[in-house]
A and B are shown apart, each in its own frame.
Chain A
Amino acid sequence: MDLKLDHRTEDRLTIVEVEGEIDVYTAPRLRELLIDLVNKGNFHLLVNMEKVDFLDSTGLGVLVGGLKRVRAHDGSLELVCTQERILKIFRITGLTKVFGIYASVDEAKEAHGRDK
């Protein structure tokens, strides 16, 4: 399955909807989107990965790259993910300590609101 990307802004939070496979072939598109969003002043990103079927280290690298970019503007990049097979790769690489990972968009929005 190819990669589908969409995004919307709610309050100060930009929600990036990702669907499909994030791998060495498709990850550049996600990288371009994150860079574009940051360049346009969106520094608080929430990446919804609930419809992601596959994620590899290329995708992890793109997310880490995005995190570095938003942090340079005192921003944030957090994730929504409950799929065990996706969470596993975050655990293997220790990135569960780097990203805020939430069970739903609403839960993430609530946490983001508290932090504002």
Chain B
Amino acid sequence: MATVELTFSALPAHVRTARLVATAIARRTGVAEALLDEVRLAVGEACSRAVEAHRVHCPGEPIRIELRDDSGRFEVTVTDSAPNDDLQSPGTANGLVSVEASADSMFGIVPEMPGLGIAVIAGLADDVEVSPGPTGVRIRMSWPAATPNGVPAH
């Protein structure tokens, strides 16, 4: 069950807000201090990518972010609503592609280096799932958090 869900308009200024919210909830959930920078950066990358995709395809649609505390892990899911024809490629039949496979085909948030944001996320979170679909992309990532009794999960 999601502990927090929020939606925001596809504006670059809101990405910082999403980062701050995610970091605050990660801290409260018991994610180790040493990992909070990684959470902040990875969530920012996912939201930046979504904002850029929406600005191209559907600027009026909001971006959704879910922050969950499940089974000793802090899980963040960023979902956009931007159609992506490029994602109908071999290897996506089950709706999932590996991060490596998807990185080059994603909308890049950096004109000079498309796909860099996804590559950064893959380098930061030890558990990442990129799920492209015809109606948008979902990026789910998680980090170890404290269990309900406060003992860090492994």
Contacts and interface: CB of A to CB of B under 8 A. Distances in A.
Are both chains from one complex?
yes
Interface of A: 21, 23-25, 54, 56-58, 60-62, 64-65, 68, 85, 89, 92-93
Interface of B: 12-13, 15-16, 19, 37, 40-41, 44-45, 48, 51-52, 109-113, 116-117, 119-120, 123-124
B15 A23 contact: yes
A56 B117 CA distance: 8
Contacts of B112: 61-62, 64-65, 68
Contacts, number: 69
A93 B52 contact: no
Contact of A23 (B16, B113, B123, B124): B16
Contacts of B52: 24
A56 B45 contact: yes
A89 B15 contact: no
A95 to B, nearest CB: 9
B40 A54 contact: yes
Contacts of A56: 41, 44-45, 48, 117, 120
